[in-house]
Amino acid sequence: MKNKKICIVGLGYVGLPLAVNLSKYFKIVGYDNNEQRIIDLRDNNDKTKEIKKSELKRTKILFTNKKSETKDCKVYIVTVPTPIDSQNKPLLTSLIEATKMIGSFVKNGDLIIYESTIFPGCTEEILIPLLEKISKKKLNKNFFVGYSPERIDPGLSKFKLINQAKIISGSNKTALNITKNIYNKIIKKKIFVAKSIKVAEAAKIIENTQRDINIAFINEISMLFHKLDINTNEVLKAASTKWNFLNFKPGLVGGHCIGVDPYYLKFKAHKEGFKPKLISSGRSINDFMPEFIFSQIKKIMIGKKGFLKNKNILFLGVAFKENCNDFRNSKAINLLKLLDKNNYIDVYDNLVNSNSLKKIEKIDLISKINKKNFYDIIVVSVPHKKIKSFKIGYLKSLGKKNCIIIDIKSIFPKEQVEWQL
């Protein structure tokens, strides 16, 4: 195994850290169909900020966007994104294209491991039949398949790839043994062998769905407590004195995992004629939060005998979570676009790539905050470390005399701001 090449298909937040770590023990080919991504990586530049320039310089990974350079690999690990479409349905385009590429030159004895998050049954019902059809080969006779869901958590250095337990599964014992031998080289925590590929697929998707539901409950009680004039954070402090209370916080829940995975599970449930109520309700609540916050800002403005129109607004943070530069499916952006109608907005995020944001979301970032006594509203949306370091006095100096401060994640004492979620 040591002298056989491994190809990592997809070099984003998941694939690149995996490639770098595995390159310490195996020959690695890093494939991505994004030519600019390959150019950047060859120049030791990771725009996701997951891997440092010095780390990339030390690796001997062959970065390529040429399919032909992956042909002589014996193991393929697929880490491409699995988003949703405009109707909140699974969008498997990248996964299907990666599978077609591998199927076109899969060889006897090859192993294909999928890490992308998918609904239970996807590997065996869609991906394996596609591999067999294109390759004209048979599973477990000519090639093998494994599934080992990724658990990358962007922005949290404590929970990097090597520091998390790893779930693995395989089409047979051969697939399991090879998969285990590969991940054993880099994973410091436990490797858990799932009973089947479906079990591994389901385990990953309920991890994020469970978190989505838990936060949805807190978001719902937060909306209720606003009507009752009760401070949600004070309630949570009191309730968390009970040993088994789960202390989730209210907030904007988006991103490419928690904001997506419940829809994958819901899609599969509907395919089986089952209508999940709790899963659907939780995601509906979290999808609604930008509108709720927007309505609260309007309410505050009306209370001050004004309107949410022709206002100068400073919006701090557009990533989907703090200390991360990923803005895919960010609910902060949903809120921003609601506020953007009929108002002037300066948007600041010290981590998000301004060119990417402009290209994909048509949003301009300011590089510095240099306007004093200018803003009517300041929205502290995503408290990156730098944004969290801003003192309340500094923020108030940026605003006009009656400027209101909206503190979504409650980083300031309640009495210092106009509104908290």
Same structural domain for residues 224 and 136? no
Whether 68 is covered by a domain: the verdict is yes
Range of the domain at 116: 5-194
The pLDDT of residue 97 is above 90: yes
Same structural domain for residues 259 and 146? no
Q: Residue 71: which pLDDT band, with cuts at 50, 70 and 90?
A: very high
The pLDDT of residue 158 is above 80: no
Whether 201 is covered by a domain: the verdict is no
Indicate the average pLDDT of the chain: 95
Whether 277 is covered by a domain: the verdict is yes
Q: What is the pLDDT of residue 303?
A: 84
257 is catalytic: yes
Same structural domain for residues 225 and 179? no
Q: What is the pLDDT of residue 306?
A: 77
**What digits encode the pLDDT tens for the residues 189-234?**
999 999 999 999 999 999 999 999 999 999 999 999 999 999 999 9
Same structural domain for residues 233 and 290? yes
Residue 127 maps to which CATH number?
3.40.50.720
Q: What share of the chain is helix, strand, coil (3-state, %, to 5)?
A: 40, 15, 40
Q: Residue 304: which pLDDT band, with cuts at 50, 70 and 90?
A: confident
Same structural domain for residues 134 and 238? no
Same structural domain for residues 86 and 153? yes
Instruction: Please report the DSSP string for 361-416 in residue order.
Output: H--PPPS----SS-EEEEEE-S--HHHHT--HHHHHHHEEEEEEEEETT--S-GGG
Same structural domain for residues 9 and 50? yes
**What digits encode the pLDDT tens for the residues 230-282?**
999 999 999 999 999 999 999 999 988 899 999 999 999 999 999 999 999 99
Say how far apart CA 144 and CA 178 lie, in whole Å: 10
E strands within 97-210?
110-114, 143-147, 166-170, 191-193
Which strands form 191-193's sheet, in the order they lie side by side? Answer: 62-64, 27-31, 5-9, 75-78, 110-114, 143-147, 166-170, 191-193
Q: Which two structure tokens, joined as six digits, stand for 50?
A: 């997951």
Whether 211 is covered by a domain: the verdict is no
Q: What is the pLDDT of residue 243?
A: 95
- Among residues 73, 122, 257, 403, which one is catalytic? 257
The pLDDT of residue 1 is above 60: no
Report, as an integer, the average pLDDT of 81-96. 96
Whether 26 is covered by a domain: the verdict is yes
Same structural domain for residues 67 and 101? yes
**How far apart, in Å, do the first and last CA atoms of the chain sit?**
52
State the pairing for strand pair 166-170/143-147.
antiparallel
Whether 176 is covered by a domain: the verdict is yes
Same structural domain for residues 364 and 274? yes
Which strands form 312-316's sheet, in the order they lie side by side? Answer: 344-348, 312-316, 375-380, 399-407, 419-420
Same structural domain for residues 225 and 111? no
Q: What is the pLDDT of residue 157?
A: 60
Whether 205 is covered by a domain: the verdict is no
pTM: 0.93
Report, as an integer, the average pLDDT of 324-350. 95
Structural domains of the chain, count: 2
Same structural domain for residues 351 and 387? yes
Same structural domain for residues 257 and 184? no
Residues 155/321, Cβ–Cβ less than 8 Å: yes
